[in-house]
Amino acid sequence: MIPDSPADGTPSGVDTTEEDRPTVLAVDDDEDLADTYAIWLDGDYDVRTTYDGESAIDAVDSDVDVVLLDRRMPDMSGGDVLDAIRERGYDVRVSMLTAVEPDEDILDMPFDEYLVKPVTRDDVVDTVENLLARSEYDDDLQAYFAVSAKLATLEAQLTPDERDESAAYRDLQRRKADLEARVQDSLDDVEGFEDAFREVEN
């Protein structure tokens, strides 16, 4: 279920004090890009930057709320970093932010969003805001949005014929339908909740 909001309209669980700003980790072997993401987010978030996979894993702790993760990096790929984060049990929202065009290989990757470079400041800021809002949802809603993101990503890349021929794609469609049936009541409240969250963040 969507968490209740207190009387002042602040979404439950969202602390807006400067000391407790959400923490975003930007990971990219292109140091200029990682630093650019940090500049775009500075002021609203506590931003950490790392430039390789091993450092990214070391930088993730219980304080990190969102990870912006490059997929193609030397020595350790973003996919390996993502697996390590999940294996360590951190409840953090992850957006792949990469020049790698998605294919069916993304179906089993446990990310929440997938952005293809080049990206704009608005792309990055909106993604972080959306992922922070989703962190307030229950597990089924989070899973629903993650599956929806994968479907939207694939639909932008695969032709209709390729989708029809893909058993994995059809399985993902069924997964989304199953989740949607379970979270329909909560979905009716999502838009208003996300608007309230963004008002607090801004």
CB 174 within 8 A of CB 147: no
CB 202 within 8 A of CB 177: no
For residue 1, what pLDDT is reported? 33
Token duo for residue 133:
């809002």
Per-domain boundaries in the chain: 18-201
Task: Calculate mean pLDDT across residues 161-170.
Answer: 85
Spell out the residues 6+ positions from residue 56 whose beta carbon is closer than 8 angstroms to its own: 25, 27, 50, 67, 69, 81
User: How are strands ordered across the β-sheet holding 46-50?
Assistant: 46-50, 23-27, 64-69, 93-98, 113-116
48-60, pLDDT tens digit by residue?
999 999 999 999 9
**Pairing outcome for strands 93-98 and 23-27:** unpaired
Measured distance CA(81)–CA(54) in Å, rounded: 8
Coil vs helix vs strand at 107: coil
Is residue 133 scored above 80 in pLDDT? yes
The domain 18-201 is placed in CATH, from the list 3.30.465.10, 3.40.630.30, 1.50.10.10, 3.40.50.2300, at 3.40.50.2300
90-122, pLDDT tens digit by residue?
989 999 998 877 777 787 788 999 998 999 999
Q: Looking at 11-20, 59-68, 170-179, which range is the least confident one?
A: 11-20
- For residues 48-64, one letter each, b for 16 or more C-beta atoms within 10 angstroms of the residue's C-beta and e for the rest, the string is bbbbbbeebbebbeeeb
Spell out the residues 6+ positions from residue 40 whose beta carbon is closer than 8 angstroms to its own: 121, 124, 125
Question: Using 50, 70 and 90 to split pLDDT, how confident is the model at 188?
Answer: low
Measured distance CA(6)–CA(142) in Å, rounded: 22
Token duo for residue 182:
């379970």
CB 12 within 8 A of CB 136: yes
Is residue 173 scored above 80 in pLDDT? yes
